[in-house]
Amino acid sequence: MARDLAARMDHRRGSVLYALDGTAARCGVSTATVKRHVRVLRELGALAWQRHGTKRNLRLPGRPYTATATIYAATIPAAYDEAMGHRLDGTGYGARLLGVTEDGRTLAVSAARASTQPVDNSPSEHRRSRGRAPHSLGSHHHAPIPDLDGGMNYTARAHRRTGRTVKGGELRPQRRPWRVAEDIRVARQVRPLVGWTQREGLRRLAFALRPLIDRGLDAHDIAAELTGMAVDRRPVRPAAFITAALTRDRQAEAAHEAGEELTADPATHPEWQQWLNSRQAETPVRTDEDRRRARLYAWDRWHEVAAHYDDDPDDALDLYGTRLCAYAVKRAARCAQ
């Protein structure tokens, strides 16, 4: 296994591709044997993980599927370099050999003069041992735990980005399963209340309604928003229409807020503040329940909404909402013609 990795290694960078299936085919062993022997090499300090491979498709041209390869770096324990008298440049698996010290040169000359006999590691001739992988390590193997001096040869995987990248590079956080179930429950309540959404599936509708659900609106409030969203229209794709309408409203609101920052604030005028205080003292406090009922049940009384808007636009917008007021003004203009 070490000879196969050394033959394919980039000695300039000191790295080699794992190539599990190819290594098993070249060495004539199973993939389990390759994994086991590479693990031994890592525990010995001869290999280190430089990049973890994944099954993500690289989408290379001309290839239907190509996964991300695992890359190992060849390493030599520091104790070995010190014992052999090596002079290194750099640290870790990026270190390179520059030369040897006087003690290292003497040791190398002595090793070259000594005659050594090769060790016979030929495979066993036993007929039952051919073509089989060695046994997996079990609890009966009492191997000593290596002392790594507080370090580890297993590099940590990069933290996975939890979320979904949408158009524009924005990372949308993942939704919890219980939140998705709650979205579907709300969509199941909203769909019977709005006619043009009944052709859409629950999951698509729930996904489109997430911005409204995150605002804390219940099923009736969402139904009121959707009713005013498609006045005199019946969208073919309701979920896509809702998403586009909410995106358009969000962009318009952001542009409106940006424009307000450039203009003077009328609330700073003392007479305006005095009029607001007197008006708030005379007018009863309006609740969210009043707004919900008005926006849900006032579509048939559009003439009252139009008259209210002509009398006090700000109060009408607060009570009925933008869509209902726009619908009422539009109907009143048509009748006037």
- Give pLDDT tens digits for 60-89: 667 777 677 788 888 877 787 788 888 887
Q: 225: Cβ–Cβ under 8 A, 6 or more apart, which residues?
A: 212, 217, 295, 321, 323
- Which of the listed CATH numbers 3.30.1070, 2.60.40, 3.30.450, 1.10.10 matches domain 1-75? 1.10.10
Q: What is the mean pLDDT of residues 141-149?
A: 48
Q: How far apart are the C-alpha atoms of 116 and 235, rounded to whole Å? A: 86
Q: Where in the chain is the domain with CATH 1.10.10?
A: 1-75
146 confidence band (pLDDT: 50, 70, 90):
very low
Q: How far apart are the C-alpha atoms of 206 and 186, rounded to whole Å? A: 7
Q: Give the chain's length.
A: 337
- Position 207 scores a pLDDT of 92
- Position 276 scores a pLDDT of 67
CA-only gyration radius of the chain, Å: 37
119 confidence band (pLDDT: 50, 70, 90):
low
pLDDT tens-digit readout, 196-254:
888 888 899 999 999 989 888 888 888 888 887 776 778 888 888 899 888 888 887 77
Residue 33 or residue 158, greater confidence:
33
- Position 335 scores a pLDDT of 81
Q: What is the mean pLDDT of residues 294-301?
A: 83
Instruction: Report the predicted TM-score, pTM, of the whole model to 2 decimal places.
Output: 0.33
Q: In this model, does residue 148 exceed pLDDT 50? A: no
- Position 77 scores a pLDDT of 75
